[in-house]
Amino acid sequence: MNKFLSLVMLKLRNDFYQNYDCSYNGLISRHTSPTMYNGKPYDLPFLEIGTKDCKHAEFGGCTMCNFGKDEKINENKIIKQLEIAFEICRKKPFVHMAVCGSTFDDWEFSPLVRKKMFELANKCGYLEYFGTESRPEDITPEKLEEAKSILGDIKLSIGIGFESSNFFIRECCVNKGLKKGDFLTSVNLLKKYNIDQEIHVILKPPFLTEKEAIEDSIKTIKYVINELKVYVIFIPVNMRIGGTLTKWLNEKGLYNIPMLWSVLEVIMALSEKELEKFIIPAFESSYTLQQVSENCDKCTRRIRELILNFQYTKNKKFIEGAMNIKCGCKDIWKERLKEKALPLRERIIKNYEFIAKEILGNNWWIENKNWVVEYVRCCSVLNSKKQEKSKE
């Protein structure tokens, strides 16, 4: 885990939640994600269940996320939410339920509650396919065996946040704190147990230019689909109302979420075959969401409609149609793609210095600068070694 980003994120999150009354204690959040199921267009109910916190967020969490707030919530309250959630999804054969962090983390979602969730899924009588999410290190053979035995004929799918195949980006831009070994172990374990998996890949973490972000997403998506041979959930980074580093940087003019043109550009780079394993979910989230990818007022609605049609059909012609729309904002996007920037390592250190001085104070930076810079350097060197090794 990146100790510097964790410190910064803890401060930003605490400040946000102290000044903003947004307890989700025992609250369900729900939206519908347009997708395909059994080869047909399908409105997937996506429910978020309020738990006590995401454990990763207890240490600061990811730079673009504000999920998870230390809440006092007991098992009964979570079970109550689950009962309501299964009522909400009545008669839908495929539903997705996410928690703040990780469904298979015993600390966040106790074995008793998890067992209850799978029992409710099994008993409800309408489900064929059930999706949830986990961090890879929480997935064990025992937990998978239990889930499968309770679910019976219901097929299970687990979403896992990978974000980028580039270790340096994951560690120094996202603060994902994910070990590639844990990740690959869980991928193989889920395959062994014949459980579907959806690997989350983001577009545009902080510190990357628009062009670098597009390239990193394409590279990661192709790696997951072609090498690991599993599904990708593609998530353009959104803007929260607070409690994230991306929001803080945005206020300083140092970060923008990706434009819709970039979202299209990533999809355009994928082959028909790759698109079979590619999912772009709803541009939606729970209520601390502020903004999602957009272009200008003239073309945004039209492009979103075309993306919606793609989500329902996976037909690339909708994306091509969207990409061919002529609009003045495309020139702004093309300018963004030409943005010149320092080499990534230098750029990150420069940004860290600014963030440290503003958020933790000048003295903090003077006293701690050495280990912070050394950490970025080590991650960068390790990343180059990993990339060389993967080429061999």
Residues that bind Zn ion (CB under 5 A): 295-296, 298-299, 327, 329
Distance CA 39, CA 41 (A): 7
* Residues 17, 187 contacting (CB under 8 angstroms): no
Whichever of 167 and 333 has its CB closer to Zn ion, that residue is 333
Least distance (Å) between residue 298 CB and Zn ion: 5
What H or E segment, with its residue span, contains residue 383? helix 362-391
Distance CA 279, CA 285 (A): 16
Whichever of 298 and 301 has its CB closer to Zn ion, that residue is 298
* Paired sense of beta strands 28-37 and 231-236, if any: unpaired
Least distance (Å) between residue 302 CB and Zn ion: 9
Beta-ladder partners of 201: 163, 234
Whichever of 27 and 337 has its CB closer to Zn ion, that residue is 337
Whichever of 333 and 365 has its CB closer to Zn ion, that residue is 333
Q: Which residue matches tokens 């003295």? A: 363
Compute CA 148 distance to the chain's CA centroid, rounded to the nearest angstrom: 25
Whichever of 298 and 334 has its CB closer to Zn ion, that residue is 298
E-strand spans in the chain? 28-37, 40-49, 94-98, 129-133, 155-163, 196-203, 231-236, 239-240, 278-279, 289-291
Distance CA 71, CA 17 (A): 11
Least distance (Å) between residue 319 CB and Zn ion: 16
Whichever of 127 and 260 has its CB closer to Zn ion, that residue is 260
Whichever of 332 and 382 has its CB closer to Zn ion, that residue is 332
Taking Cα atoms as reference points, which of 36, 44, 38 lies closest to residue 278?
Answer: 36
Least distance (Å) between residue 297 CB and Zn ion: 7
Least distance (Å) between residue 175 CB and Zn ion: 33
Least distance (Å) between residue 299 CB and Zn ion: 3
Taking Cα atoms as reference points, which of 165, 171, 206, 162 lies closest to residue 379?
Answer: 171
Least distance (Å) between residue 320 CB and Zn ion: 17
Number of H helices, E strands in the chain: 16, 10
* Residues 241, 249 contacting (CB under 8 angstroms): no
Q: Helix, strand or coil for residue 197?
A: strand
User: How does DSSP classify residue 138?
Assistant: G
Whichever of 239 and 259 has its CB closer to Zn ion, that residue is 259
Taking Cα atoms as reference points, which of 284, 277, 391, 259 lies closest to residue 337?
Answer: 259
Cα Dmax for the chain: 61
Least distance (Å) between residue 293 CB and Zn ion: 12
Whichever of 31 and 336 has its CB closer to Zn ion, that residue is 336
Distance CA 206, CA 200 (A): 17
